[in-house]
Amino acid sequence: MDSATTIVIFGASGDLTSHKLIPALYENFVKKRLPPRTQILGISRTPMSDEAFRKRLLSSSSEVLGKENVASSWSEFAPSVHYYAADVSKEASYPLIEQAVRELEGSNPSRRIYYLALAPELYLHTIEYLGKAGMARPDGGWRRIIIEKPFGRDLTSTRVLNQKLHAVFDESQVYRIDHYLGKETIQNLLVLRFANTIFEPVWNRNFIEHVQITVAEAGGIGSRAGYYETAGVLRDVFQNHLLQLLTLIAMEIPSRFEANTLRDEKVKVLDAVRLPKSDDVEQYSVLGQYQGYHSESGVAPDSRTPTFAALRLNIDNWRWQDVPFYLRSGKAMAAKMSEAVIQFRCPPHMIFDVPRGETLHCNQLVVTVQPDEGIHLTFMTKVPDAGMKLHESNLYFHYRDSYEKIPVLDSYERLLLDAIKGDASLFIRQDEIERAWQIIDPVIEGWSARTASSLLPQYPRGSWGPAEADALLKQEGRSWVNGASLHHDR
């Protein structure tokens, strides 16, 4: 008989479980991608029967996936979902949890994933107690642990967490998740670069003038003030999502598409990122706060938590020397949109007249991660019947046009399946996460000293951030590309 696979979710009553993990597992179940005899056990403090837990999940999964999509197979999926009430902050709970898992597994050797969908302050204890209860030891079948972000809040706390983790789990058992890596277009960046020959010869300082990466969100912080006030935009998305995008754009070509070779190259890029200095943060970065942030529920009236940041990084290696990478992200911006703009150099000598008042548009490659996943390349064309008049034209690729019948997957669907298969390519390794903190820490440190005595620049809701962010690029002779994919003609 096949071994059982059990996914034990710590933090089962939370939003992540109901709105991300369970819908993703359900979709995998419907597509018959889960191993036979997969069971899901939710753990949290609230007393609840299996039935009540399933009912909650049916309602949240219907919200996420649509009622009609869930109706079809929920009755087949639901019996594999179970619940056990336990206080994970207490060591005594773990032998009981172990017993509950064993009852589900029966006498066969089983494989297990522990998913920490918990408040991060519970990570250390949960890991330690899993170890003490012997639950991390492979017992005829593997044991893996998936850990949600935030993984640490600076380099020091991340090192402590990694040490504690390694006292219990081997690195090969650890899957640190960054849901951005599960996005199709992010993986498509690797395909674009490494499955085509035309980009590689120009993918360097000789042809690329600068790179911009934007993760813009239209919404504010909503009901997440409790978390957001302790994080701010640099911890929330720069240390992880934006730096991950940077590594995929800037890394060298790995010899194989395999977890460690891929991650070796990503770490090399992070190692080459020039470490920012905290004493001159205003030279290369800007913070901001959206107007009205102080009136959000749970936000302190004098809060200095940044909801926007823009940052220039430099990569000290042969490929990227002197090519700035500008990273920008904010809440309450003009649109929800994540994209990377590769700005190519202008022709070294222009033989055509550019009419007065117009500027030459030099080639751009735009990779849109969301919402309209795709790639477009701009280039100059001649306007017909108008002498030598030039016009910027586009080549487009859009997922929704090219793969109409295949919907773009939710990241968790892909990442959960990868963890079950044991493929860690799209998960973050220990050295990678530590280096990412090492890059972001000095920026946070530099600004916290400065913002102690002054408020952050404000920006109107629905804008592209504070004027200071425009000035950051302007002083270097550049400007932000605001949603290249949002307003081009098709």
Q: Hey, which residues are catalytic here? A: 241
Question: What is the nearest approach in angstroms of ligand BG6 to the Cβ of residue 238?
Answer: 11
Please report the DSSP string for 35-77 in residue order: PTTEEEEEEESS---HHHHHHHHHHHHHHHH-HHHHHTTHHHH
236-255 residues in contact with ligand BG6 (CB under 6 A) are: 236-237
Rounded distance between C-alpha atoms, residue 339 and residue 274, angstroms: 23
Q: How far is the CB of 421 from ligand BG6 (least distance, A)?
A: 23
d(CA 209, CA 199): 15
- Is the distance from CB of 182 to CB of 426 less than 8 angstroms? yes
Nearest one of 305, 291, 146 to 224, comparing CA atoms = 305
Show contacts with ligand BG6 in window 145-204 (CB under 6 A): 149
Question: Please, what is the minimum distance in Å from the beta carbon of residue 149 to ligand BG6?
Answer: 6
Tell whether residue 216 is a contact of ligand BG6 (CB under 6 A).
no
**Cβ closest to ligand BG6, residue 236 vs residue 373:** 236
Interface residue with ligand BG6, options 173, 338, 363, 364 (CB under 6 A): 338
Separation CA 322–CA 330 (nearest Å): 26
For 36, the token pair is 């036979």
SS3 call for 342: strand
* Smallest separation (angstroms) from ligand BG6 to the CB of 245: 11
Closest CB to ligand BG6 among residues 324, 465:
465
**Is the Cβ of residue 99 or residue 223 nearer to ligand BG6 in the bound state?**
223
- Closest CB to ligand BG6 among residues 169, 180: 180
Pairing of strands 325-330, 308-313: antiparallel
Sequential DSSP letters for 126-172: HHHHHHHTT-SS-SSS-EEEEEPSP--SSHHHHHHHHHHHHHHS-GG
**Is the bond preceding 150 in cis, omega lying within 30 degrees of 0?**
yes
Distance in angstroms (rounded) separating the CA atoms of residues 303 and 186: 34
Closest CA to 233 of 308, 332, 301: 308
Nearest distance from C-beta of residue 307 to ligand BG6, angstroms: 10
User: What residues from 394 to 423 belong to the interface with ligand BG6 (CB under 6 A)?
Assistant: none
If residue 325 lies in a helix (H) or strand (E), which one and from where to where? Answer: strand 325-330
The smaller minimum CB distance to ligand BG6, of residues 80 and 338, is found at 338
Dihedral sign computed on CA atoms, order 174, 177, 183, 185: negative
Distance CA 422, CA 420 (A): 5
Minimum Å gap between C-beta 473 and ligand BG6 is: 23
Q: How far apart are CA 340 and CA 369, in angstroms?
A: 8
- Nearer to ligand BG6 (CB atom), residue 80 or residue 411: 411
63-93 as b/e, with b when 16 or more CB fall inside 10 Å? ebbeeebbeeebeebbebbbbbbbebeeeeb
Among 27, 105, 184, 217, which residue interacts with ligand BG6 (rule: CB under 6 A)? Answer: 217
Q: In the window 277-336, what residues touch ligand BG6 (CB under 6 A)?
A: none
Using only C-alpha atoms, the chain has a radius of gyration, in whole angstroms, of 24
Q: Which is nearer to ligand BG6, 236 or 372 (CB)?
A: 236
Q: Which is nearer to ligand BG6, 230 or 260 (CB)?
A: 230
Q: Could you give the string, one character per residue 109-148, with x where binding to ligand BG6 holds by CB under 6 A and - elsewhere? A: ----------------------------------------
Smallest gap from Cβ 217 to ligand BG6, in A, equals 5
Strands 364-370 and 337-344: antiparallel
The footprint of ligand BG6 on this chain (CB under 6 A) covers a number of residues equal to 5
Query: Cβ 247 to ligand BG6, closest distance in Å?
Result: 17
Distance CA 62, CA 69 (A): 7
Which one, 332 or 472, has the nearer CB to ligand BG6?
332
**What residue number has its CB nearest to ligand BG6?**
236
3-state SS class at 465? coil
Which residues of the shown chain bind ligand BG6 in the complex (CB under 6 A)? 149, 217, 236-237, 338
